[in-house]
Amino acid sequence: MTAGPIGDSSPGRRVAVLGGTGFVGRAVCEHLMRRSASGAIVVPTRRAMHANTLRALPTVDVRVADVHDDAALRKVLAGCDSVINLVAILHGSAAAFEHVHVALPRRLAAACAAAGIRRVVHVSALGVGDNAPSNYLRSKTAGEAILRAAPLDLTLLRPSVIFGAHDQFLNLFAKLQAVAPLMPLAGGDARFQPVWVEDVAEAIVRCLDTPATVGQIIECAGPEVLTLAELVRLAGRWSGHERPILPLPMAIGRLQALLMECLPGQPLMSRDNLASMQTPNIASGTLPGLASLGIAAASLAQVAPGYLGHRDGRANLDALRAVARRG
Ligand SMILES: NC(=O)c1ccc[n+]([C@@H]2O[C@H](COP(=O)([O-])OP(=O)(O)OC[C@H]3O[C@@H](n4cnc5c(N)ncnc54)[C@H](OP(=O)(O)O)[C@@H]3O)[C@@H](O)[C@H]2O)c1
């Protein structure tokens, strides 16, 4: 299928959103729908239940598909004009990072060539670079390079840590402080420039609509630089459970992370995450940012108390229900 005008999410267009079921992907699908109520949005997922919240969006076409299978990926992309790639993992072996962040972009570039799709918006991360300190960042770097070398009309976005009602970051620190008497924390002086998920989603959709962003790398960062310790403190304060922070030396932090990696399920913090934090997660200032897309980034204080405080509000309601003996 021949691509239409570069980055057009106008009526009748068909966009594939790989990773559309995730935290950022769900916001992207909502913004795409708001922008073009009649354009179709194709979202592949490994498991149908991961797309439950997307089903409320009438123009989203959820497909259970393995995007690591060339034939399945080609089927997902059939009839699409453009692709947004948000597929990523935060934890895993070097091989897993290679599979998801490097092999998939290679596969995607080939599938786009076969389908005649040129327009791709790919979400990477701040801190990428050949000498980046973690498997996560190095594999993201390699994925970017593959897509940049491919015959695509590509826009890359590099966000700092992303916050929003369903984030796995501030919500996690808030939950931990609700149950723990203190917060042991390694890497507390690591610096971030948190950015709101709605701003990132809007940026992705605006990129798709703006031919001038082809070839650009856009840094998505919020208005303030905060350390990890400050973020933990704010999450505790806004959720009503601020606990003292116990700074841990990096060596102990790595040991703690190793123990977490040995437990079943996703670790709260892996050694690779700790390694990523050696690079400041803040905008370089030499590349275009959200302002170049006409987006005035929201600050953490404008948004996060609303959803972190909600937890407390619900807890208060639960207490009142208990008093009233209603569940
Ligand atoms: N969240 C942040 O703070 C942050 C910061 C910087 C950059 N980013 C980047 O932003 C993008 C979106 O992140 P997110 O927070 O929305 O991630 P997320 O919530 O973890 O979502 C990941 C998505 O990728 C898919 N996925 C995960 N592992 C997969 C695998 N092995 N094979 C195929 N699909 C897989 C999932 O789909 P199914 O489970 O439905 O198959 C899901 O839709 C990523 O590129 C991430 O690196 C995020």
pLDDT digits (tens, 9 = 90+) for 76-91: 999 999 999 999 999 9
Q: Which atom of ligand 1 is nearest to the CA of 140?
A: 47
Instruction: Tell me if 17 CB under 6 Å of ligand 1.
Output: no
Nearest to 159 by CA among 56, 90, 239: 90
Side by side, the strands of the sheet bearing 14-18 are 60-64, 40-45, 14-18, 82-85, 119-123, 153-159, 217-220
Fill in the amino acid letter for 248.
L
Q: In angstroms, what is the span from residue 86 Cα to ligand 1's centroid?
A: 6
Predicted pLDDT of residue 327: 39
Instruction: Tell me if 50 CB under 6 Å of ligand 1.
Output: yes
Q: In angstroms, what is the span from residue 31 Cα to ligand 1's centroid?
A: 17
Instruction: Tell me if 163 CB under 6 Å of ligand 1.
Output: no
Predicted pLDDT of residue 12: 63
For 209, counting Cβ atoms within 10 Å of its Cβ (0-12 exposed, 13-18 middle, 19+ buried), the class is middle
Q: Which two tokens stand for residue 262?
A: 């040995």
Whose CA is closest to atom 23 on ligand 1? 19
Q: Which two tokens stand for residue 170?
A: 């501030």
Report d(CA 238, CA 61) in Å as an integer: 37
Instruction: Tell me if 125 CB under 6 Å of ligand 1.
Output: yes
Predicted pLDDT of residue 326: 45
- Cα 225–Cα 158–Cα 75 angle in degrees, nearest 5: 150
Listed as ranges, residues in the chain with pLDDT below 70 are 1-12, 310-327
Rg (CA), the chain: 20
Predicted pLDDT of residue 311: 52
Q: Which atom of ligand 1 is nearest to the CA of 161?
A: 3
Report d(CA 307, CA 145) in Å as an integer: 37
Q: In angstroms, what is the span from residue 85 Cα to ligand 1's centroid?
A: 9
Instruction: Tell me if 166 CB under 6 Å of ligand 1.
Output: no
Instruction: Tell me if 18 CB under 6 Å of ligand 1.
Output: no
Report d(CA 267, CA 26) in Å as an integer: 23
Q: Where are the alpha helices (DSSP H) in the chain?
A: 23-35, 70-77, 94-97, 104-115, 135-149, 170-179, 197-209, 228-239, 250-262, 271-276, 300-323
What are the tens digits of pLDDT across the range 165-205?
999 999 999 999 999 999 999 999 999 999 999 999 999 99
Report d(CA 181, CA 103) in Å as an integer: 43
- From the CB of residue 224, how many other CB atoms can be counted at a distance below 10 Å? 14
Predicted pLDDT of residue 212: 98
Predicted pLDDT of residue 187: 96
Nearest to 253 by CA among 174, 165, 323, 185: 185
Task: Specify whether the CB–CB gap between 105 and 85 falls below 8 A.
Answer: yes
